[in-house]
A = this chain, B = another copy of it.
Amino acid sequence: MDCSTIGKRVPQLGSLEKATGEAIYLPDIKLPGMLYGKILRSPHPHARIVHVNTEKAERLKGVKGVITAKDTPMIRFCIIPQLANKPPLAVDKVRFIGDEIAAVAAEDEDTSEEALDLIAIDYEELPAVFDPVEAMKPKAPKIHEEEHNIAAHIVREFGNIESGFKEAQYIFEDEFVLPGVTHCCLETRGCLASVSRSGRVTVWSTTQTSHTLRPRLAHVLGIPVGNVRVILARMGGGFGSRLDMDSIDPIAVFLSKKTGRPVRLINTRDEEFVSSRIRYPMTIHLKTGMRKEGTISALETRVITDNGAYNNQGTSVTGGIGTKITYLWAIPNTKLDAYVVYTNKPFGGAFRGYGNPQLTFALESQMDIIAKKLGLDPVEIRLKNVNKPNTTVASRSNISSCGLTECIREAAQIVGRGKTKEKNRGIGIACLMHTGGGTKVFFGGNTNYSDSYVKMTQGGTAEILTGACDLGQGSDTVMAQIAAEVLGLSIEDVHVISADTETTPQCLGAWASRQTYVGGNAVLRASEGVKRQLFKAAADLLEADWKDLELKDRRVSVKGLPERGVNLGELASYCYQNGIPLASRGFWDDPVSPKPDPVTGFGGSPTFAFGAQAVEVEVDRQTGQVRILKCIAAHDLGKAINPMAAEGQIEGSVLQGIGYALMEEMVWDEGVLLNPNFQDYRAPFIWDVPEMKTILIESNDPDGPFGAKGIGEAPLIPTAAAVANAIYDAVGVRVRELPITPGKILRHLRNQKE
């Protein structure tokens, strides 16, 4: 297809505003009379709240309101409503260091901060437990009185695992340990709330899902959904951390209600580390059955997930592994046996990859272990096991487009495998699959939709109203490109209004790499609706059959007769003068993938992104330092709507993967986070960026907008395994526990010698 905007390197909409500082972020919004809120958080990992006295705080000059749980309806929340056990403010107990207890709104931040110190709380400290294995033991301290510490035990089998292992010639068992890491969004989370006299609530929230935050927030506020308006506040990244509601959202509203004034709450960096969702720490045990010829006959995955103190997405992240193990490699028989366990630590949430970085580190590390044992080349063994296009996998999802084979070949070739190996250098490869268009999981789980509305102005330019959420990833730009392509416009001719629940159509939001695929499909349909209206009018005007018309470069004309045409501005003006307002709704839902699994609650995805990354590393045997020399990232994204944005996603993801591989880890001691800042929590810096080459494999998904699939999460997923495999290739050290720190390497090297 000959495209004019799709596939072009388009700078993100709003880049000028961001670069010049004109762009308004949450901290820039100041409403008249606005107060500044602060949250009092638990200093104890586990304690009963005996008494709270807020009188002194209330009397402090400048303080306009102090709230505790008793000022709220004490409704517990969770993204999966039936698992709700987190109240916005602690009701009787605190369960991790950072748990929210009270909040203050004052005329300025210093006063709020000061007031927090004046709130007197009597605690009865309780024994705490921090390790999920310990927490599972019968005598472990109970974190939720009414529940066992095992929040969920998930068992899911596809095919027949027993006969799968019978088929196997070899059985491999390996265990991998994955740490807690955090998103490190450049801007911390916040919420500005304003409650009107008539009870209408408006919040500006740094959310990835304004349309689903809305009912969740209404629920916990105890008011009708219709009384809440959520406006996405421009943010410095989300990476999944802004998918679910945080206590900060209802707390801001409760404070505004109490004080009758708008209240803004913004996390400090310390709070962001201590209190926000994290990537679920896991232990993954793989038992893999290999047939003689090097194909996998069975895979059993045993997982223990550290759920943290409250339910959120522990069950869906963990349960999702049950289906994820069926998508990358063609495995007829799989089983997941997983425990999700409460501990007195911060609770996890969505994080780019959603369980897949954990799983894939295990899967793809073991794949190299197996290859080595079987004497197979790492590329060869992968090519033997790849899923192919148009395959229904064991978990019953259909893989439509699949460029995995090409990705492996390209990545392997370009990294220069087979060259004479330099000393202490090694090459590693790892693959991934991930949903490329959302998943049926939340909100009842039967749907994965986006609704949109596109209108054309009298001047022939377009306006898109979409519930899709741009959290910096550029979804507004992608939507604009799609509309521009359909409507023969340039990107400057399209204006995007997104993610305000009051004015935009519903969309489930930005998660599971669904915005381009699902949101884009909706905008595509709406744009096509407007195009039909234009063609109908142009057919009248040009006295032609609409089927003979074409629309490009802001002009509708008869195919092959460019002079017999009408410019869009003129045509749109004609339409408005003749009662043909140019506007169309466009809706898309996933019509194909399976409904949610009754055990895991995890549904199918309409399409999948695939990829392979090859890295070359150099390991310093003296210091254990790993230097990544080169990274080749070959990704099947269906079609690159905006190659510049796709490359940006890949490069940023790979870097986050490098952090996961080599550096990042939240370190707790008795529930105290020891590294709640960028000094001590080491995330990649700009000098950690290796030489990077991205290869975009376009498999042209049959159902994606212009063939596209989502690429937001995928490229983070295989990086850690590729790095681990490369380290093994370099110095023969196999580290099964992330991050692969110099200390761990040195320890293994020492063991090698012994």
Of all chain B residues, the one with the shortest Cβ separation from A508 is B576
**Pairwise interchain contact A461-B225, C-beta atoms closer than 8 A:** yes
The interface residues of chain B lying within 8 Å CB-to-CB of A505 are 455, 581, 583
**Pairwise interchain contact B502-A463, C-beta atoms closer than 8 A:** yes
The stretch among A129-137, A422-430, A446-454 that forms the contact with chain B is A446-454
A255 CB to nearest chain B CB (Å): 19
The interface residues of chain B lying within 8 Å CB-to-CB of A17 are 196-198
Q: Given contacts A197-B20, A585-B585, are A458 and B579 in contact (CB under 8 A)?
A: no
The interface residues of chain B lying within 8 Å CB-to-CB of A443 are 576-577
The interface residues of chain B lying within 8 Å CB-to-CB of A462 are 226
The interface residues of chain B lying within 8 Å CB-to-CB of A459 are 215, 218, 224-226
The interface residues of chain B lying within 8 Å CB-to-CB of A449 are 579, 581
What number of A residues sit within 8 Å (CB to CB) of B?
Answer: 52
A470 CB to nearest chain B CB (Å): 16
**Pairwise interchain contact A447-B578, C-beta atoms closer than 8 A:** yes
Q: Given contacts A30-B32, A505-B583, A506-B455, are A224 and B461 in contact (CB under 8 A)?
A: yes
Of all chain B residues, the one with the shortest Cβ separation from A215 is B458
**Pairwise interchain contact A495-B16, C-beta atoms closer than 8 A:** no
Q: Is A110 an interface residue (CB 8 A)?
A: no
Copies of this chain in the oligomer: 2
Bound Cα distance A146, B31 (Å): 51
Q: Is A273 an interface residue (CB 8 A)?
A: no
The interface residues of chain B lying within 8 Å CB-to-CB of A127 are none
Residue among A22, A448, A583 with max Cβ neighbours from chain B (10 Å): A583
**Pairwise interchain contact B581-A458, C-beta atoms closer than 8 A:** no
A595 CB to nearest chain B CB (Å): 10
- Residues in A560-602 with C-beta less than 8 Å from chain B: 576-579, 581, 583-585, 587, 589-590
Cβ-neighbour of A451 out of B225, B581, B587 (below 8 A): B581
A745 CB to nearest chain B CB (Å): 49
**Pairwise interchain contact A579-B446, C-beta atoms closer than 8 A:** yes
Q: Is A457 an interface residue (CB 8 A)?
A: yes
Bound Cα distance A723, B126 (Å): 86
Bound Cα distance A22, B196 (Å): 8
**Pairwise interchain contact B493-A226, C-beta atoms closer than 8 A:** yes
The interface residues of chain B lying within 8 Å CB-to-CB of A16 are 197-198
The interface residues of chain B lying within 8 Å CB-to-CB of A446 are 577-579
Bound Cα distance A196, B24 (Å): 12
3 smallest CB-CB distances across A and B, nearest first, come from A444-B577, A226-B461, A225-B459
Can you spell out 12 A-B residue pairs with CB atoms less than 8 angstroms apart? A215-B458, A224-B457, A224-B459, A225-B457, A225-B459, A443-B577, A465-B503, A497-B502, A497-B503, A579-B590, A583-B585, A584-B585
Contacts A22-B196, A225-B458, A455-B506 aside, 5 further interface pairs with beta carbons under 8 A come to: A225-B457, A226-B461, A443-B576, A449-B579, A451-B581
